[in-house]
Chain A
Amino acid sequence: MATSTYLSNPVVTINAVDMTDQCTSAVFTRMIESLESTAFGQTNRSYVGGLENSTLTVTMYNSFAASETYATLKTLVGTQVTVKVKPTSAATSATNPESTLTGAYLESLPIVNGQLGALDTIDISFTGGAYSVAIA
């Protein structure tokens, strides 16, 4: 049973720019690569933690207007950038923690994703970087 309910309204910051009002989806996944450590004599596979490789994937409306999506992202492709997400727009706290990837890599940027009768939206992923979380 769900223990808390809130309207999904995460705050998304890319390179210090608040892009919340252009986002329709934000998935922040913390991932630590698994390294197999199974040895002879074991009857099950076992793993240990390797390098961290967390990701933030966001879906955004595409816009070429000033200070919008394209202006924010166009020079970030192929670079490391700091991205932040927190569950709601309320103050950062233990119940509204702000997760950060410092030095996350933006590998690709769709320029146009046009479809008849639909708004142009793009999916972008920031990968890697150092994970941290703020609760105040």
Chain B
Amino acid sequence: MAYTIASPRLGTVGDVYEPADGVNVEALIEGGFIKSTIKSTKSDKPSKDTNEEN
């Protein structure tokens, strides 16, 4: 997973961020400090289960 810095508290905004060991990445995303560079696509959506029994 690749991230970019979104807050100057973490570094230069726009730079690639590589989390060190022990860093809570989810907290950084939740707090708006970093952004994932991978955008979700239609293929990320869960596929329909076609084996459902009716």
Q: Which residues of B, 13-54, contact A by the 8 Å Cβ criterion?
A: 19-24, 26-28, 30-33
Residue in A67, A81, A102 whose Cβ sees the most chain B Cβ within 10 Å:
A67
Q: Would A15 and B27 be within 8 Å (CB), given that A66-B32, A67-B33, A82-B22 are in contact?
A: yes
Question: How far does the alpha carbon of A81 sit from the alpha carbon of B30 in the complex, in Å?
Answer: 15
Question: How far does the alpha carbon of A76 sit from the alpha carbon of B27 in the complex, in Å?
Answer: 7
Q: Number of residues in A with C-beta < 8 Å to the partner?
A: 18
* Cβ-defined partner of A67 (8 Å) among B9, B19, B24, B27: B9
Question: How far does the alpha carbon of A63 sit from the alpha carbon of B27 in the complex, in Å?
Answer: 17
Q: Would A19 and B9 be within 8 Å (CB), given that A72-B31, A74-B31, A75-B31 are in contact?
A: yes
Q: How large is the interface on B (under 10, 10 to 19, 20 to 34, 35 or more residues)?
A: 10 to 19
Residues of B within 8 A of A103 (CB): 22
Within the complex, the shortest CB–CB distance from B5 to chain A, in Å, comes to 10
Q: Is B4 an interface residue (CB 8 A)?
A: no
Beta-carbon contacts of A75-119 to B below 8 Å, as 1s and 0s?
110011110000000000000000000110000000000000000
Q: Would A76 and B7 be within 8 Å (CB), given that A17-B33, A67-B32, A71-B32 are in contact?
A: no
Q: Is A16 an interface residue (CB 8 A)?
A: yes
Within the complex, the shortest CB–CB distance from A18 to chain B, in Å, comes to 5
Question: How far does the alpha carbon of A80 sit from the alpha carbon of B23 in the complex, in Å?
Answer: 9
Q: Which residue of B lies closest to A16 (CB)?
A: B23
Within the complex, the shortest CB–CB distance from A132 to chain B, in Å, comes to 11
Residues of A within 8 A of B33 (CB): 17, 67, 71-72
Q: What are 6 A-B contacts with C-beta separation under 8 Å?
A: A16-B10, A17-B33, A74-B31, A75-B31, A79-B27, A81-B24
Residues of A within 8 A of B (CB): 15-19, 66-67, 71-72, 74-76, 79-82, 102-103
Residues of B within 8 A of A (CB): 7-10, 19-24, 26-28, 30-33
